Structures are given as structure tokens and as C-alpha cells.
Amino acid sequence: MRLRLATWNVNSVRLRAEQVARFVDEQAPDVLCLQEIKCQEGEFPRQAFIDMGLPHLRIAGQKGWHGVAIASRLPIEDAPTLNACREGHARCVSAKVAGVEIQNFYIPAGGDVPDRALNPKFDHKLDFYATLARELARRDRKDPLIVTGDLNVAPGENDVWSHKQMSKIVSHTPIELEAMAALKASLDFIDLPREATPEPEKLFSWWSYRAADFRKSNRGLRLDHILASPGLRAAAFATGKAESRVHDTVREWERPSDHAPVTADLLL
């Protein structure tokens, strides 16, 4: 069976429920991982997701901020949540679908100053990464596991519009790249979007609202990720290549999120 997984920092699920429905109708994800839902669990628009054909839900909500959710066409089983947030924010939700464990994260952005001593938000981000990498290193590489979400690091030179200019900006500083590399190495994760779009092609999933025309300026970053454990390699490359893409046309829709959805297909 094909399992299509999508991740999307929706930047308010209630505000963009209609856009989510349009995306689901056009791309038919079996599992949709959302970040920044910006509502408490009781405020989540459950009926809208039932109407979309994604009735199976796991939600970790928070008033006005953060919040993550998993919506599935297929039944969901419980999975242990890798709660790496020292501040107690709603930044992780987990589920098992069709035998695949899914860990959906909204990792802290880290503020504006890339200095752990001067900026507690940046320290929190790096602590989150370190905690998560330690937890994942204990897992079995053969387990079918997906780590996904808005991980708030653009890890490669071609994941940013300008490596030189971004190297001193939070999201692409050397210490953050090291943290992301350690996370990937913790279980030898496969970066599915980058496998599908190899270097040196540019690949972005986020564009600032500040640009009047995001395509013309194209100052993007790849902040949204789908990482697969080695146990899913055969499923990810069943067609001979990784099937994954950024749906950047969604960024053109009226009143969009600043993030575009990313999908990956597994043949289980």
C-alpha cells in the first residue's frame, strides 16, 4: 500500500481549515502532520477533518501558541511521545499508522540572537535538539520511524537562499547545522525531500511574509523536514527513487501560511 505523509506548519489551523481541506483534496495525504495549530485541543476543528476524510486525530494543543496535530485517513495507534521540550510547550505529538511510528515536532525557532548565553530561546532550541538526538540514538535503526515537522533549521548550503548571508542568522548558523547533523546521525536518518531533489538544486519550504512577491525574491529556507529511519529505506525507495516534494504552489494561495506543505510517499 502507498502511505503518503504530509507535514505543514499551518500557522493557525482554525484560520486555514479551508486551505487544509483544499490541499487534502488535491494531494490526498493519508497522514497529515501539522505544526503551529495555535489552539487548545478542545478548539481544534475536528469536524472539518472528519469531512476531509482524516477522522483519526492526535492533538497536542496550547492556548494561542505552538501546538501540533496528526490527522489520518487510517486508524491510529498510540506511540511514545519523544517530549524534548524543557519548557513544557505543546511541541510534539506521536502516532503509529500502518505500522509506521510518526513523531511530529515543532522545534523552537530560537529567537534572533544566535548566542546561548545571551538568548534563552536559542539555548532552548539547541537543548531540544540535543535531548531529541540522545533519545533517538537509543532506538533500533530497523524500526519503521518517521521524524517530521517544522524543525526550524535549514541544514545545507542549498537549503537557504544565500549560505554566506544566512550563516550568521538563526536557522542556519554553524552550531545549528551541527545540531541537525547530530540528529540525523543519531539513527542514520534518510532526508527524503533532499533525496528526491538532490544537491545542488535549491529547495525551500518557507518564505517570509515580508516579500511582496515571494517567488520574485525567492529568499527561502528549507525548515520543514521528513526524516525516515533505515528501517523504511525499502519503502521510501520502492520505485527506485524517493518520492517527496515541496508543494510551493500552496504558498501562492490567498492568506497563506509562510510555510508550504511537504509530502513523501512510502510503499509498505
Question: d(Cα 171, Cα 253) in Å, to the nearest integer?
Answer: 25
For the chain, how many structural domains are there in total?
A: 1
Domain hosting 104: range is: 2-267
d(CA 149, CA 140): 21
Does this model's pTM top 0.85? My answer is: yes
pLDDT at 158 over 90: yes
Rounded distance, CA 116 to CA 119, Å?
Answer: 5
Q: Which three cell numbers stand for residue 184?
A: 540525523
Tens of pLDDT, residue by residue over 215-249, are 999 999 999 999 999 999 999 999 999 999 999 99
User: What pLDDT shows up at residue 101?
Assistant: 98
Percentage with pLDDT > 70 across the chain = 100
Average pLDDT, stretch 70-93? 96
**Residue 222 belongs to domain with CATH number:** 3.60.10.10
Task: Write the DSSP symbol of residue 155.
Answer: -
Residue 47 parent element (H or E):
helix 46-52
| Percentage of residues in the chain having pLDDT higher than 90 | 99
The CB density around residue 187, as the number of other CB atoms within 10 Å, is 23
What pLDDT sits at residue 20? Answer: 98
CB 268 within 8 A of CB 100: yes
Q: Tell me the average pLDDT of the chain.
A: 97
Q: What is the pLDDT of residue 83?
A: 87
- Whether the bond between 200 and the residue before it is cis, its omega within 30 degrees of 0, is yes
- Given a cut of 90, whether residue 212 has pLDDT beyond it is no
